[in-house]
Chains A and B, each alone.
Chain A
Amino acid sequence: MIFSSVFFIFVFLPITLLLYFAVPKPGKNVVLLICSLIFYAWGEPVYIVLMVFSIIYNYISGIEIDHHRTQGKRGRMRFVFWLTVGVNLGILMFFKYYGFLMENVNYILPFDIPYRELSLPVGISFYTFQTLSYIIDVYKDKVSVQKNLINFGTYIAMFPQLIAGPIVRYADIEKQLDERRITLSGFGNGIAWFLRGLGKKVLLANNIGMAYDAIAALPQGEMSVLSAWVGCAAYAFQIYFDFSGYSDMAIGLGKMFGFEFMRNFDYPYISKSITEFWRRWHISLGTWFREYVYIPLGGNRAGTAKSVRNIFIVWFLTGLWHGAAWNFIFWGLYYGVLLLLEKYVMQGVLEKIPNVVKHIYTMFFVLIGWVLFFSPGMGEAVSYIGTMFGIGANGLADSAGIYYLYNYALLIILSVICSVPLTYKKFNRFVFSGSRGRTAIAMGAYLAIFILSVAYLVNATYNPFLYFRF
């Protein structure tokens, strides 16, 4: 089930909210857990078994690790810990990377080993990282063990962040599982977050995504330099509004239930360096890798050589996390290289150049990065990037390129406006500091987002039947 659907907004969410606020406090987590499991099973009726297993297994492991520690049996504790990490990663590897692995093994071997590619359980990359954050922190004695299965299950399965993050670390949410304050204005703030996210996803991402789809479908050799850049920019906006919109909806839903999640995006496209970009893009993933991979490996404190190695490990894994394909790995390593260059080579240079140039420099490499990301394979990525620089392109600008630029001009402008913090800052200052009428305008704006988005959602099944086509 996805948030941006008629079913979620008009059936699932109202029922869940009614139940949640109807039951007394001790029952709230039970309601949330059951509804979350239904939410997951709605899209993955079979893999729900896998998730329930994961919850129970990690719950028991956490208790065991803690038990061995209190008994002073460090060896056993370490054994259970590594076993649990292995099982979690093993499940992730099996479902996410098995097909990819076999494909590459078969490529190397002179004969083919038959294999069946598995469908990926939705959200497995996210909830596996959440369970790992718990297990690692329990092992390191940074958080106390969760003895309540309902609370633990709620943490793993909580539907707002289940499918696409943010990746909530157990430490951040530990207290809220027991004790959280739900206020009317907090709930309203959650609605506002949800609506902004909904608008980003439905009005901006889906619409500008059509420009990308149309351009990506152009046959090789019929794409001009202009088309290639418009397509790439459209994709950059699509993925940003899609992903950050989804995160905003998650944060908003969390607030409705009294949870505070970390923000996952912080206007990444205003960054003045690649380093800054990754502090603003998918923050929860970056934080996770820093906390649980980079720092345990020694971070940057173990000398330059090790620090370079650590950065490459982290970015190899970041790429791989995004998908089981070589272009994702290259995409990760590409950023690893850029970050190292910024850290060791360009530091002095970047400080001196004007801000405008820094913005252009950053967006240039981010856009090239998205080509690696969206291309179905490395060959396609290379030829698309070639087209962007005129190699194999159908001229500098052709009618298709002008057509798409012209038709999506308004959406591109809207997307730029909605990508910068100034818009939101101005909006907030306008609304909340002054006369009463201004809040009415803001309410009208939120209502408009809602109504305009619902129109697209209802339209999702618009499916005219044309008999006697010809």
Chain B
Amino acid sequence: MATRDQKNQERKRGTRRIQGRFYRRMVRVFGILLALLVLANIIKGDQEFSDEENRMLARRPKLTWEALVSGDYMTDFESYVSDQFFARNQWITLKLYEDMLLGKKESNGVYLGKDGYLMEKPDEPDWDRVSANMAAVSAFAERHPDIATYMCMVPNAFYIFEDKLPAQAPVRDQEADLQRIRELKGESVHDINVTDVLKEHADEVIYYKTDHHWTSLGAYYAFGVVAGAMGIENVASDYSIHTVASDFQGTLASKSGYHGSEDIIEVYEAADIEPDYIVSYVEENEKSTSIYNSECLQEKDKYTVFFGGNHSRIDIGTTQPERKNLLLFKDSYANCFVQFLLPYYQNIIMIDARYFYDNVDSLIQNYGITDILFLYNVNTFVTDNSLADVLTVEEPAEGPNGSAATEEETDAAN
């Protein structure tokens, strides 16, 4: 018995010795590691801008009494230490690997789909706003009964590319949402359904892998349907396709932090019937002879190669002889769609309701609009809160001629 107790005690003593040694070594190992990291952070200079995140990084905050009492100084300082941390991008990459290892299928509201596809989680529709917008669209179309009004709602990648979503990912049934929008549109608006054609081509790259937009190819297929519905004649059959970027990593790559895929951006030029045109950015008071902005290809968000991004109003005047003028209400999905419309209209007026505050009825008079098209992607449309305001006539007492005059005056003043 005594010997067994002794043995036990000896073993315990041995364990304690190993423990003591281990914990003492722990102090050295972590002491050195912490010291090195602290030192690296002190030596390392501050970085102003993060390409990865496309934003200014936090700088050392200024110490003021107000900032101290409100606590802003402390929160700013914590962001500063975190933002300027040594090898920040590598830590972020490591975190993404950890997420993947843990089997996470989404990051920051983006699904990490199959084949390198990133897809935005759809927003919850705001049906009150959708109803208000659709009522305004419908009233607008009824106000202009002699002008054909069309609506084209483009479904989003998560719906068309259903099989590229992570297994069982719970997403909205966008077809049901579309149906609900169609029911609200009224008699005077013609619906153009591009869902089927996009579904047919779901095995092609009709949406970007790393961006929330559709590709020019997707827009091309949709255009086939749109052209038919809007009665566009002599549709171009041949396009020359130019690849303008092959290393595009769009907003979804930034948002999720996953930089595993790269996209190609193509532009389409109708081979035989491309007219000459001039693009006017009305608010910016700038003109250009191209709808493409090659400078934007040097930037992070290369999708802005189309028109340099969104603008409140863009007028395109072409040498197309036939008097057909299009008023286009749009979001950024239309930016790569307009390249297909160019040959068929004398004037295309693009209105982005989110930035536009003028009177649209007067535009119709001034430009002799013959067609109106609402082109939105569903995800933007179901949360849009600007369209109804732009379409609603605020001062019914003022005739269309009166407002046309003010429009001309402001144009002249510009």
Contacts and interface: CB of A to CB of B under 8 A. Distances in A.
Interface residues of B, number: 70
A111 interface: no
B277 interface: no
Contacts of B24: 184-185, 188
A455 B91 contact: yes
A443 B54 contact: no
Interface stretch (B163-171, B233-241, B342-350, B393-401): B163-171
A184 B78 CA distance: 30
Contacts of B98: 203, 452, 455-456
A462 B22 CA distance: 36
A395 to B, nearest CB: 13
B357 to A, nearest CB: 19
Nearest to A466: B251
A179 to B, nearest CB: 22
B19 to A, nearest CB: 5
B27 A433 contact: no
A432 B19 contact: yes
B191 interface: no
Contacts of B257: 462, 464
A451 B86 CA distance: 13
A446 B95 CA distance: 17
A2 to B, nearest CB: 10
A5 B74 CA distance: 13
Contacts of A408: 103
Contacts of B197: none
A283 interface: no
A411 B102 contact: yes
A10 B38 contact: yes
B228 interface: no
A187 to B, nearest CB: 5
A410 interface: yes
A409 B103 contact: yes
Contact of A407 (B21, B58, B88, B104): B104
Contacts of A450: 30, 33
A467 B309 CA distance: 10
B260 interface: no
A144 interface: no
Interface string B4-37: 0000000100110011111111110110011101
Given A14-B34, A189-B23, A459-B91, A400 B170 contact: yes
Contact of A460 (B34, B37, B82): B82
B26 A188 contact: yes
A192 B24 CA distance: 11
A22 B52 CA distance: 41
B331 interface: yes
A468 B21 contact: no
A65 B74 CA distance: 39
A466 B166 contact: no
B18 A207 contact: no
A408 B94 CA distance: 19
Interface string B78-118: 11011101001001101100100011110010000000000
Contacts of B30: 191, 446, 450
B49 to A, nearest CB: 10
B325 interface: no
Interface string A444-457: 00110011101111
A464 B33 CA distance: 29
A344 interface: no
A7 B78 CA distance: 6
Contacts of A406: 167-168
A409 B105 CA distance: 12
A45 B74 contact: yes
Contacts of B359: none
B149 interface: no
Interface residues of A, number: 63
B62 interface: no
A457 B88 CA distance: 11
A439 B22 contact: yes
A184 B23 CA distance: 8
A416 interface: no
B255 interface: yes
B310 A458 contact: no
B332 interface: yes
A316 B212 CA distance: 52
B238 to A, nearest CB: 31
Contacts of B38: 10-11, 14
Nearest to A42: B74
B355 to A, nearest CB: 11
Contact of A192 (B23, B254, B255): B23
A443 B22 contact: yes
Contacts of A203: 98
Interface in A58-82: none
A98 B26 CA distance: 47
Nearest to B104: A407
A104 interface: no
A407 B105 contact: yes
B83 A43 contact: no
Contacts of A207: 102, 104
A470 B332 contact: yes
B304 A468 contact: yes
A429 B46 CA distance: 46
Contacts of A468: 301, 303-304, 309-310, 332
Contacts of A460: 82
Contacts of B377: 470
A206 to B, nearest CB: 11
A115 interface: no
A357 interface: no
Contacts of A189: 23
A45 B69 contact: yes
20 contacts: A11-B81, A14-B35, A14-B38, A185-B21, A185-B27, A186-B23, A188-B26, A189-B23, A400-B168, A400-B170, A403-B105, A439-B18, A442-B22, A446-B26, A462-B53, A462-B92, A464-B255, A466-B254, A470-B310, A470-B332
In the complex, the 5 A-B pairs of residues with the closest C-beta atoms, listed nearest first: A188-B23, A465-B55, A400-B170, A188-B26, A403-B168
Interface of B: 11, 14-15, 18-27, 29-30, 33-35, 37-38, 41, 52-55, 58, 68-71, 74, 77-79, 81-83, 85, 88, 91-92, 94-95, 98, 102-105, 108, 166-170, 212, 251, 254-255, 257, 301, 303-304, 309-310, 331-333, 377, 379-380
Given A45-B70, A188-B25, A468-B332, 12 more contacts: A6-B82, A7-B82, A10-B34, A185-B19, A186-B23, A403-B105, A408-B103, A433-B11, A443-B25, A458-B88, A464-B254, A468-B304
